[in-house]
Amino acid sequence: GNGKVHYLPYYLPCPEIFSMKLQYTEEKLIQLFPQLFYQQPRVLAPKRQDVLTVTPWLAPIIWEGTFNSEILDSAYRPLNLTIGVTAFAIGKYTRFLGRFLESAEKHFMKGYQVNYYIFTDNPETIPDVQLQPGRRFVIVPIKKYPSWQEISVRRMEAINKHIAEVSHREVDYLFCLDIDMVFCNAWGPETLGDIVAAIHPSYFNVPRSQFPYERRSSSAASIPDGEGDFYYGGAVFGGRVKKVYEFTKTCHMTILTDKANGIMAARQEESHLNRHFLSHKPSKVLSPEYLWDDSVPKPPEIRLIRFSIV
Protein backbone atom coordinates (compact mmCIF):
# COMPACT_ATOMS: atom_id res chain seq x y z
CA GLY A 1 0.00 0.00 0.00
CA ASN A 2 0.88 3.67 -0.07
CA GLY A 3 0.39 4.21 3.65
CA LYS A 4 3.01 6.12 5.57
CA VAL A 5 5.53 3.81 7.29
CA HIS A 6 6.20 4.18 11.02
CA TYR A 7 8.87 2.56 13.18
CA LEU A 8 8.05 1.69 16.76
CA PRO A 9 10.58 3.30 19.14
CA TYR A 10 12.97 1.12 21.13
CA TYR A 11 11.71 2.37 24.49
CA LEU A 12 8.29 0.68 24.17
CA PRO A 13 7.61 -1.74 27.04
CA CYS A 14 7.46 -5.50 26.44
CA PRO A 15 10.36 -5.72 23.96
CA GLU A 16 9.56 -9.40 23.42
CA ILE A 17 6.31 -8.25 21.79
CA PHE A 18 7.41 -4.97 20.20
CA SER A 19 10.70 -5.42 18.33
CA MET A 20 12.63 -2.39 17.05
CA LYS A 21 12.36 -3.93 13.60
CA LEU A 22 8.56 -4.08 13.72
CA GLN A 23 6.91 -1.70 11.30
CA TYR A 24 3.37 -1.08 10.11
CA THR A 25 1.47 1.14 7.75
CA GLU A 26 -1.46 3.34 8.63
CA GLU A 27 -3.67 1.20 6.40
CA LYS A 28 -2.97 -1.95 8.39
CA LEU A 29 -2.89 -0.50 11.87
CA ILE A 30 -4.47 -2.84 14.39
CA GLN A 31 -6.48 -0.71 16.77
CA LEU A 32 -5.71 -1.91 20.26
CA PHE A 33 -7.78 1.00 21.54
CA PRO A 34 -10.68 1.57 19.14
CA GLN A 35 -11.86 5.15 18.85
CA LEU A 36 -15.24 5.97 20.31
CA PHE A 37 -16.89 9.35 20.06
CA TYR A 38 -19.53 10.16 22.64
CA GLN A 39 -20.69 12.95 24.89
CA GLN A 40 -18.35 13.60 27.80
CA PRO A 41 -19.74 12.42 31.15
CA ARG A 42 -20.15 15.37 33.51
CA VAL A 43 -19.50 14.83 37.20
CA LEU A 44 -21.87 17.63 38.22
CA ALA A 45 -24.54 16.89 35.63
CA PRO A 46 -25.88 13.34 36.14
CA LYS A 47 -28.09 12.00 33.37
CA ARG A 48 -30.76 10.91 35.85
CA GLN A 49 -31.70 13.00 38.87
CA ASP A 50 -35.20 11.55 39.28
CA VAL A 51 -34.19 8.03 40.37
CA LEU A 52 -31.65 6.25 42.55
CA THR A 53 -28.81 5.04 40.31
CA VAL A 54 -26.55 3.38 42.88
CA THR A 55 -27.36 1.33 45.98
CA PRO A 56 -25.91 2.01 49.45
CA TRP A 57 -23.53 -0.93 48.82
CA LEU A 58 -22.38 0.72 45.55
CA ALA A 59 -24.13 -1.59 43.10
CA PRO A 60 -25.36 0.27 40.01
CA ILE A 61 -29.10 0.44 39.34
CA ILE A 62 -29.64 0.28 35.59
CA TRP A 63 -32.04 2.80 34.09
CA GLU A 64 -32.41 4.23 30.60
CA GLY A 65 -29.99 7.14 30.36
CA THR A 66 -27.42 5.79 32.81
CA PHE A 67 -25.22 3.90 30.34
CA ASN A 68 -23.78 4.06 26.83
CA SER A 69 -24.44 0.86 24.84
CA GLU A 70 -21.65 1.58 22.35
CA ILE A 71 -19.02 1.77 25.09
CA LEU A 72 -20.32 -1.42 26.70
CA ASP A 73 -20.36 -3.29 23.39
CA SER A 74 -16.77 -2.24 22.68
CA ALA A 75 -15.77 -3.80 26.01
CA TYR A 76 -17.87 -6.99 25.94
CA ARG A 77 -18.04 -8.01 22.27
CA PRO A 78 -14.31 -8.88 21.98
CA LEU A 79 -14.70 -11.29 24.91
CA ASN A 80 -16.69 -13.72 22.72
CA LEU A 81 -19.20 -14.33 25.51
CA THR A 82 -22.07 -16.78 25.43
CA ILE A 83 -25.17 -15.73 27.38
CA GLY A 84 -27.58 -18.39 28.61
CA VAL A 85 -31.31 -18.00 29.23
CA THR A 86 -33.46 -20.42 31.20
CA ALA A 87 -37.24 -20.37 30.88
CA PHE A 88 -39.88 -22.89 31.96
CA ALA A 89 -42.56 -23.91 29.44
CA ILE A 90 -44.64 -26.08 31.76
CA GLY A 91 -48.16 -27.28 30.93
CA LYS A 92 -50.25 -24.48 29.44
CA TYR A 93 -47.26 -22.11 29.59
CA THR A 94 -45.90 -23.65 26.38
CA ARG A 95 -48.19 -21.24 24.53
CA PHE A 96 -45.99 -18.31 25.60
CA LEU A 97 -42.79 -19.77 24.14
CA GLY A 98 -43.18 -18.54 20.56
CA ARG A 99 -43.72 -14.91 21.49
CA PHE A 100 -40.99 -15.03 24.15
CA LEU A 101 -38.38 -16.30 21.68
CA GLU A 102 -39.52 -14.11 18.80
CA SER A 103 -39.16 -10.99 20.94
CA ALA A 104 -35.85 -12.20 22.41
CA GLU A 105 -34.39 -12.61 18.93
CA LYS A 106 -35.28 -8.97 18.24
CA HIS A 107 -34.11 -7.42 21.50
CA PHE A 108 -32.10 -9.73 23.79
CA MET A 109 -28.29 -9.45 23.60
CA LYS A 110 -28.19 -8.59 19.90
CA GLY A 111 -24.82 -9.47 18.40
CA TYR A 112 -23.94 -11.94 21.16
CA GLN A 113 -24.00 -15.73 21.27
CA VAL A 114 -27.08 -16.92 23.17
CA ASN A 115 -28.23 -20.35 24.36
CA TYR A 116 -31.93 -20.68 25.20
CA TYR A 117 -32.53 -23.52 27.67
CA ILE A 118 -36.25 -24.28 27.66
CA PHE A 119 -37.33 -26.54 30.53
CA THR A 120 -40.53 -28.40 29.71
CA ASP A 121 -42.61 -31.37 30.86
CA ASN A 122 -44.01 -31.81 27.34
CA PRO A 123 -41.12 -31.72 24.82
CA GLU A 124 -43.20 -32.98 21.89
CA THR A 125 -45.34 -29.84 21.96
CA ILE A 126 -42.36 -27.49 21.56
CA PRO A 127 -42.22 -26.18 17.98
CA ASP A 128 -39.07 -25.78 15.90
CA VAL A 129 -37.68 -22.29 16.22
CA GLN A 130 -35.63 -20.35 13.67
CA LEU A 131 -32.83 -18.43 15.36
CA GLN A 132 -30.14 -16.04 14.21
CA PRO A 133 -26.61 -17.39 13.66
CA GLY A 134 -24.72 -17.97 16.90
CA ARG A 135 -27.89 -18.64 18.89
CA ARG A 136 -29.02 -22.08 20.10
CA PHE A 137 -32.29 -23.55 21.31
CA VAL A 138 -32.04 -26.45 23.77
CA ILE A 139 -34.99 -28.41 25.17
CA VAL A 140 -34.45 -29.59 28.75
CA PRO A 141 -37.03 -32.27 29.68
CA ILE A 142 -38.23 -32.27 33.30
CA LYS A 143 -40.79 -34.41 35.09
CA LYS A 144 -44.42 -33.39 35.50
CA TYR A 145 -45.49 -32.02 38.86
CA PRO A 146 -49.06 -32.03 40.18
CA SER A 147 -49.31 -28.34 41.11
CA TRP A 148 -47.82 -24.97 40.24
CA GLN A 149 -46.66 -24.65 43.85
CA GLU A 150 -44.52 -27.76 43.41
CA ILE A 151 -43.18 -26.44 40.11
CA SER A 152 -42.21 -23.21 41.87
CA VAL A 153 -40.47 -25.18 44.61
CA ARG A 154 -38.51 -27.24 42.06
CA ARG A 155 -37.45 -24.45 39.70
CA MET A 156 -34.31 -23.47 41.63
CA GLU A 157 -33.35 -27.14 41.89
CA ALA A 158 -33.78 -27.71 38.14
CA ILE A 159 -31.69 -24.67 37.21
CA ASN A 160 -28.99 -25.61 39.72
CA LYS A 161 -28.80 -29.18 38.43
CA HIS A 162 -28.61 -28.04 34.80
CA ILE A 163 -25.78 -25.61 35.57
CA ALA A 164 -23.83 -28.37 37.32
CA GLU A 165 -24.33 -30.91 34.53
CA VAL A 166 -24.37 -28.83 31.35
CA SER A 167 -24.52 -25.06 31.19
CA HIS A 168 -21.44 -24.29 33.32
CA ARG A 169 -19.42 -25.51 30.32
CA GLU A 170 -21.49 -23.69 27.70
CA VAL A 171 -22.21 -20.17 28.93
CA ASP A 172 -20.43 -17.34 30.72
CA TYR A 173 -23.54 -15.60 32.07
CA LEU A 174 -27.00 -17.00 32.75
CA PHE A 175 -30.34 -15.19 33.06
CA CYS A 176 -33.33 -17.00 34.53
CA LEU A 177 -36.54 -15.48 33.16
CA ASP A 178 -40.28 -16.14 33.31
CA ILE A 179 -41.67 -17.27 29.97
CA ASP A 180 -45.02 -15.43 30.11
CA MET A 181 -43.20 -12.21 29.26
CA VAL A 182 -42.07 -10.38 26.15
CA PHE A 183 -39.05 -8.26 25.24
CA CYS A 184 -40.10 -4.78 24.11
CA ASN A 185 -36.78 -2.91 23.73
CA ALA A 186 -33.05 -3.59 23.83
CA TRP A 187 -31.69 -5.75 26.66
CA GLY A 188 -27.90 -5.69 26.36
CA PRO A 189 -24.58 -6.04 28.20
CA GLU A 190 -25.52 -3.28 30.66
CA THR A 191 -27.25 -6.12 32.55
CA LEU A 192 -24.15 -8.29 32.97
CA GLY A 193 -22.72 -8.65 36.46
CA ASP A 194 -21.66 -11.18 39.09
CA ILE A 195 -25.18 -11.61 40.48
CA VAL A 196 -28.07 -9.52 39.19
CA ALA A 197 -31.53 -8.85 40.64
CA ALA A 198 -34.49 -6.86 39.27
CA ILE A 199 -36.75 -4.52 41.23
CA HIS A 200 -40.40 -5.64 41.20
CA PRO A 201 -42.62 -3.18 39.29
CA SER A 202 -45.37 -3.15 41.91
CA TYR A 203 -43.14 -2.15 44.82
CA PHE A 204 -40.45 0.21 43.54
CA ASN A 205 -42.15 3.30 44.95
CA VAL A 206 -43.53 2.08 48.28
CA PRO A 207 -41.95 1.84 51.77
CA ARG A 208 -40.54 -1.53 52.78
CA SER A 209 -43.26 -1.94 55.39
CA GLN A 210 -45.55 -2.64 52.43
CA PHE A 211 -43.28 -5.22 50.78
CA PRO A 212 -44.84 -8.72 50.69
CA TYR A 213 -41.87 -10.29 52.48
CA GLU A 214 -42.31 -13.52 54.40
CA ARG A 215 -42.71 -12.27 57.99
CA ARG A 216 -43.09 -15.53 59.95
CA SER A 217 -39.93 -16.15 61.96
CA SER A 218 -40.42 -19.90 61.51
CA SER A 219 -39.68 -19.59 57.77
CA ALA A 220 -36.17 -19.69 56.32
CA ALA A 221 -37.30 -16.80 54.09
CA SER A 222 -38.25 -14.57 57.02
CA ILE A 223 -37.40 -10.86 56.87
CA PRO A 224 -38.37 -8.97 60.06
CA ASP A 225 -40.18 -5.65 60.03
CA GLY A 226 -37.80 -2.73 59.62
CA GLU A 227 -35.40 -4.64 57.36
CA GLY A 228 -35.05 -4.82 53.58
CA ASP A 229 -33.63 -2.82 50.68
CA PHE A 230 -35.88 -3.35 47.66
CA TYR A 231 -38.51 -5.91 46.74
CA TYR A 232 -37.01 -8.01 43.95
CA GLY A 233 -39.05 -9.93 41.40
CA GLY A 234 -38.57 -13.66 40.99
CA ALA A 235 -39.22 -13.42 37.24
CA VAL A 236 -35.72 -12.07 36.50
CA PHE A 237 -32.36 -12.92 38.02
CA GLY A 238 -28.97 -13.81 36.62
CA GLY A 239 -25.23 -13.26 36.60
CA ARG A 240 -22.02 -15.17 36.07
CA VAL A 241 -22.92 -18.84 35.75
CA LYS A 242 -20.88 -19.82 38.84
CA LYS A 243 -22.65 -17.19 40.95
CA VAL A 244 -26.08 -18.26 39.68
CA TYR A 245 -25.17 -21.83 40.60
CA GLU A 246 -24.34 -20.77 44.17
CA PHE A 247 -27.47 -18.62 44.42
CA THR A 248 -29.87 -21.32 43.16
CA LYS A 249 -28.27 -23.91 45.44
CA THR A 250 -28.77 -21.72 48.51
CA CYS A 251 -32.37 -20.87 47.59
CA HIS A 252 -33.17 -24.52 46.91
CA MET A 253 -31.83 -25.50 50.34
CA THR A 254 -33.88 -22.85 52.17
CA ILE A 255 -36.99 -23.88 50.20
CA LEU A 256 -36.42 -27.51 51.25
CA THR A 257 -35.94 -26.40 54.86
CA ASP A 258 -39.35 -24.71 54.82
CA LYS A 259 -40.93 -27.72 53.11
CA ALA A 260 -39.55 -30.05 55.78
CA ASN A 261 -41.19 -27.82 58.40
CA GLY A 262 -44.51 -27.71 56.57
CA ILE A 263 -44.10 -24.06 55.54
CA MET A 264 -44.84 -22.44 52.19
CA ALA A 265 -43.36 -18.94 52.07
CA ALA A 266 -45.69 -16.05 51.25
CA ARG A 267 -44.44 -15.68 47.67
CA GLN A 268 -42.82 -19.12 47.33
CA GLU A 269 -39.37 -18.92 45.68
CA GLU A 270 -39.62 -15.13 45.35
CA SER A 271 -39.66 -14.87 49.15
CA HIS A 272 -36.49 -16.96 49.37
CA LEU A 273 -34.88 -14.88 46.62
CA ASN A 274 -35.56 -11.69 48.59
CA ARG A 275 -34.23 -13.23 51.80
CA HIS A 276 -31.02 -14.24 50.02
CA PHE A 277 -30.48 -10.83 48.40
CA LEU A 278 -30.92 -9.09 51.74
CA SER A 279 -27.96 -10.99 53.21
CA HIS A 280 -25.98 -11.41 49.99
CA LYS A 281 -26.41 -8.14 48.11
CA PRO A 282 -26.67 -8.27 44.32
CA SER A 283 -23.72 -6.72 42.47
CA LYS A 284 -26.06 -5.07 39.97
CA VAL A 285 -29.74 -4.12 40.21
CA LEU A 286 -32.03 -3.79 37.22
CA SER A 287 -34.69 -1.09 37.36
CA PRO A 288 -38.33 -2.04 36.70
CA GLU A 289 -37.69 -1.33 33.00
CA TYR A 290 -36.38 -4.92 32.93
CA LEU A 291 -39.38 -6.40 34.75
CA TRP A 292 -42.52 -4.49 33.94
CA ASP A 293 -46.23 -5.22 34.25
CA ASP A 294 -48.49 -3.36 31.85
CA SER A 295 -51.34 -3.56 34.36
CA VAL A 296 -49.33 -1.12 36.52
CA PRO A 297 -49.67 2.55 35.44
CA LYS A 298 -46.40 3.69 33.82
CA PRO A 299 -44.88 6.61 35.74
CA PRO A 300 -42.59 9.18 34.07
CA GLU A 301 -39.53 7.61 35.72
CA ILE A 302 -39.97 4.55 33.50
CA ARG A 303 -38.76 6.00 30.20
CA LEU A 304 -38.42 2.67 28.38
CA ILE A 305 -39.98 -0.73 28.99
CA ARG A 306 -37.60 -3.53 28.04
CA PHE A 307 -39.25 -6.71 29.36
CA SER A 308 -42.89 -6.98 30.37
CA ILE A 309 -45.49 -9.50 31.48
CA VAL A 310 -47.75 -10.63 28.63
Q: Is 179 annotated as a binding residue?
A: yes
Q: Is 225 annotated as a binding residue?
A: no
Q: Point out which residues pair with 287 in neighbouring strands.
A: none
Catalytic residue chosen out of the listed positions 64, 190, 214, 270: 270
Q: Is 203 annotated as a binding residue?
A: no
Q: Is 213 annotated as a binding residue?
A: no
Q: Is 159 annotated as a binding residue?
A: no
With CA atoms as reference, report the closest residue to 286 among 267, 309, 270, 302.
302
User: 270 an active-site residue?
Assistant: yes
**Edge-to-edge order in the sheet of strand 292-293:** 181-183, 307-309, 292-293
List of long-range contacts for 60-68, beta carbons under 8 Å, 24+ apart: 60/284, 60/285, 61/199, 61/285, 61/286, 61/287, 62/190, 62/191, 62/284, 62/285, 62/286, 62/287, 62/289, 62/290, 63/287, 63/289, 63/301, 63/303, 64/289, 64/303, 64/304, 65/303, 67/190, 68/38
Q: Is 255 annotated as a binding residue?
A: no
Q: Is 172 annotated as a binding residue?
A: no
Annotated binding site for UDP-N-acetyl-alpha-D-galactosamine: 88-90, 93, 178-180
Residues acting as catalytic residues? 270
Question: Per the annotation, where are the binding residues?
Answer: 88-90, 93, 178-180, 200, 270, 293
